[in-house]
Structure 1
Amino acid sequence: MSENHTSAPAVAPAPEEIEAALAANASDEMARLQSELAELKAKSADLADQFLRAKAEAENARRRAEEEIAKARKFGIEGFAESLLPVCDSLDAALALPNATAQQLREGSNATLRQLTAALERNKVVAINPPAGEKFNPNFHQAISVVPAEQEPNTVVAVLQKGYVIADRILRPALVTVTAPK
């Protein structure tokens, strides 16, 4: 047996109801969009504030770095100059002696040279004074002349002028005489 199901005809909403539903949806959508806009404005203002703070901090760091560099340039040699003051004092004292003997002047000069060498070494300035027979090193030595000698070829025979190095940088190479190749 078959039953016939008849469905009731659907009632179409009235145009006023459709208009009211659309207005309600539009109103809800407008409220949601306004809320989202307010959130985005707040987030934008917060990011703008963070940006301005970061920019100001970067500017302050740059300014502080420039001031430190200026101070380093201006006063960087202060420690070195301070370590040379005793050398100046010794030279002043030597010149203040009106009747110094040659022996006194020699002893004073040696003491002053020791003070100067110590001051240089404290500031990482070290002499390059290769002994005779040391292999010639063009990074630290400058050959002034080549002479025949009984030692190995290409070795230092004599130092004509000491060289100096500061930390790992050559200030002046040692001027040397080297042996000729055989």
Structure 2
Amino acid sequence: MTDPKNLQENPQNLQGEPSPEELEAAQAANEADALAAAQGEIAALQAKNAEMADQILRAQADVQNARRRADEEVSKGRKFAIEGFAESLLPVLDSLEAGLAIQDATSEHLREGTEATLRQLKSALERNKVIEIAPPAGSKFDPHLHQAISVVPVPGQEPNTIASVLQKGYTIADRILRPALVTVSSPS
């Protein structure tokens, strides 16, 4: 029901149109609803932002931990890389000490002991991927594996082939540790 006093002041209410007060109240209600929705959205975004910031911090911590663990592994690898090699040389050391401990050894015993120790040493080197380079005479000279000390004339042998090996070379895991020192045949 409409108030008769209101009708006198506001004749528009007869036609069903809202009064300016009603429009203002409705606009205020809409603005309040929009403000509440915006505040709710802000709160949700702030919560999402805090969650993302926490995820970033955790990811950064994970990366730092992984980096630290990798650095520790590299450090341990460097520190103990030679451990296996040293362990394989210990029997050679034991054999040498045992040979020197014999007071009345004959030259034959010393030779046998030295040969056995040499076999142990070669075996230890091979187990650790240290392979000797000892090219046979007449094989092709390879500057990646051999170092030519001199060039000598060798009748009946092709030029740039190995005449003799002065010192064996060695590789370690397919990498040159020391090239073989060789003499190379000269062109005729």
TM-score (norm 2): 0.88
Q: Which of 164, 171, 181 does residue 175 from structure 1 map onto?
A: 181
Q: Which of 106, 110, 130 does residue 101 from structure 1 map onto?
A: 106
2:9 is the counterpart of 1:27 = no
Q: Which of 104, 109, 130 does residue 125 from structure 1 map onto?
A: 130
Q: CA deviation at 1:61?
A: 1.1
Number of the residue aligned with 2:161: 155
SS at match of 2:85: helix
2:186 is the counterpart of 1:166 = no
After superposition, what is the alpha-carbon deviation per residue over 1:22-56, rounded to whole angstroms, capped at 9, x for unaligned?
A: 11111111111111111111111111111111111
| CA distance in 1 between partners of 2:47 and 2:142 (Å) | 69
The amino acid of 1:179's aligned partner reads S
Number of the residue aligned with 1:116: 121
Gap regions ≥5 residues in structure 2: 1-14
Greater shift, 51-60 or 131-140, is seen at: 51-60
Number of the residue aligned with 1:135: 140
SS at match of 2:142: coil
The amino acid of 1:169's aligned partner reads R
Gap regions ≥5 residues in structure 1: 1-9
What is the count of residue pairs matched by the alignment? Answer: 174
| CA distance in 2 between partners of 1:142 and 1:65 (Å) | 39
After superposition, what is the alpha-carbon deviation per residue over 1:95-139, rounded to whole angstroms, capped at 9, x for unaligned?
A: 111121111111111111110011011001100000111100000
Number of the residue aligned with 1:50: 55
The amino acid of 2:98's aligned partner reads A
Number of the residue aligned with 1:74: 79
| CA distance in 1 between partners of 2:143 and 2:80 (Å) | 34
TM-score (norm 1): 0.91
Q: CA deviation at 1:140?
A: 0.2
Q: CA deviation at 1:74?
A: 1.2
Q: CA deviation at 1:11?
A: 6.0
| CA distance in 1 between partners of 2:132 and 2:143 (Å) | 16
Q: CA deviation at 1:13?
A: 3.2
Structural RMSD (CA)? 1.4
SS at match of 2:149: strand
The amino acid of 1:180's aligned partner reads S
